[in-house]
Structure 1
């Protein structure tokens, strides 16, 4: 029996390297509580990205939450109406109110024009997402944030290895956050990081992640969002293979580009010309006259042993959030954007299997419903 093709497989280093790193942690008997390996991982990320203000957290979601708390956001935070639920959920946990704004059509990132119209006296921040690793409109959003006098935060969860205009994408915005979850290109199994680019908040994030402890007492917004020493040690070992994974994913994307050209009802989503490499995910855009919509395609592909995700649809949407206005493009994306399997160890044979399944769905679309 052929194994299913899942959406992503984690980058797993050789066992001897992992075993050695974990052995050192257990030998030290320092397993958590902001130990030396956490600080070493922070230093590694800081050095590679050229960003001095870095604090790691227990997850990418808590990275967003603690960034918002460190910025003392009180009011409304403008977020994209098409995004993974963690973005809005983190804002809520930080005590602010997420307000959804429509996305622009080409790159699926938050629409600056819609953001400009949504800004009010209650707006305390703009939290944009670099969707699938593709940069949001940084220039326009920075201009709007400055005019409104609010911080610009980028949820760059999937953006390790992506550059924009010759610098790491994570270096843009007043603050940026990264996910180090196992599904990301580099990871610590579970984890996240906050990068203070124009606002030094790492010290506050470190305090908040440790129950808010401090000489003046514990902060009300403190929580347990620490990364363990085990996770930090694994993160450092995994990270050593990140450059190779970037190269492999670049090759996989090339195979997909060639193979998907055979289909006239979907195509890979666009990526900004000044950014790259596009190694976070493989989202495709279904045409308006495609034989299936996004959720039907996900179900149909699973019948062929191929896992896909419609991250803007159904089970991924947070209910009950206020919208600043109509969101027709986000609603369209929910019906037409699907992520295909994408990781560095996929082979050309695997890509052929994915495309063959897509062709089979197109031949019998009624079965996908």
Structure 2
């Protein structure tokens, strides 16, 4: 949270203007600052990251099958289904648990219209190889960058890759606006189309298209304006916290995602992968007993969602299924004190000492 007085100063201006939404001055200022920060030509601040995904699919006029990852938050799949397309799951790679670019081509059919991949935990997908495959087959590329804010690859913002990239500014994210999201576009015509679609399809009293309400408010923009100048310090604090966690957990039978080369990472989360699900469950239960909240993020593997029958190509994805059954995200935020990290690590050690290994 930002200093309360700073946020209230923005609220005072909102009260003076009596303008809460519909592209107010704070929202326009936040969009402009985000474009500069990310070095992207077009960006729209949306009500959440899921709406951003739906807008991307609709604006690109995607039909048929969309190749996607089974290791992501459910919104990645539900956005595809909501827009009446069919998700085709391709397994993830073992390093950062992102969509395995080497397996995409085998899943392409005449009905494939796009690739929708997730930058898992802020680690980048193989954006170069995915672009090669997409161009070879005439496919659109959407990146679910809900975790990607602040990560750079080859000197570029990770959100600048693909035909469209989306981001979440939910309160749990490194940079947040309470609730919110963004959609990043590299094409002017597509940007204008998305702007229309997120505003009910009309400008003033002139109606041009079927649209939805994907806008956000001045209250949320104010939060973003408070926090955006602090992103660098957030990332630095998280990097130090990551190193402290790794030191405290050293020697335990835990696996961690591997950051690809040429990446300036944002340290969005701290996931650990256990050797067995029983170890995870014992650890989660013990931490909970001591008032420490953790999350099975992501679980389940999306190809195993119970309501997919008849709506998806739910082929087996063994890597995703294995990781989803054994991954746990530990508490991870800049205010987390060193002694708290030590306490959490001590409980993880205790749980592993008593958990059944398989």
Tell me the TM-score normalized by structure 2. 0.93
Give how far 1:179 is off: 0.7
Matched, 1:292 2:292: no
Tell me the equivalent position of 1:44.
Answer: 33
Question: For 1:94 and 1:118, how far apart are their aligned partners in 2?
Answer: 20
Matched, 1:122 2:111: yes
SS in 1 for 2:207: coil
Residues 107 and 269 in structure 1, CA contact (< 8 A), matched pair in contact too: yes
Aligned to 2:223, which of 234, 256, 262?
A: 234
Tell me the equivalent position of 2:240.
Answer: 251
SS in 1 for 2:202: coil
Tell me the equivalent position of 1:335.
Answer: 325
Question: For 1:67 and 1:350, how far apart are their aligned partners in 2?
Answer: 41
Greater shift in the superposed pair: 193-202 or 62-71: 193-202
Tell me the equivalent position of 1:101.
Answer: 90
Give how far 1:320 is off: 3.2
- Which ranges in structure 2 are unaligned for 5 or more consecutive residues? none
Tell me the equivalent position of 2:316.
Answer: 326
- What are the within-5 Å matches in structure 2 for residues 30-69 of structure 1? 30-69=19-58
Greater shift in the superposed pair: 254-263 or 16-25: 254-263
- Which ranges in structure 1 are unaligned for 5 or more consecutive residues? 1-11
Paired positions, count: 353
Tell me the equivalent position of 2:263.
Answer: 275
Tell me the equivalent position of 1:204.
Answer: 193
Cα deviation digits, residues 301-321 of structure 1 (max 9, x gap) = 212322221123249864333
Aligned to 1:173, which of 143, 162, 165?
A: 162
Question: For 1:89 and 1:226, how far apart are their aligned partners in 2?
Answer: 20
Tell me the equivalent position of 1:364.
Answer: 354
Q: What is the CA RMSD across the aligned residues, in angstroms?
A: 2.1
Residues 154 and 177 in structure 1, CA contact (< 8 A), matched pair in contact too: yes
Aligned to 1:313, which of 299, 315, 331?
A: 299
Greater shift in the superposed pair: 301-310 or 55-64: 301-310
Residues 25 and 229 in structure 1, CA contact (< 8 A), matched pair in contact too: yes
Tell me the equivalent position of 1:87.
Answer: 76
SS in 2 for 1:319: coil
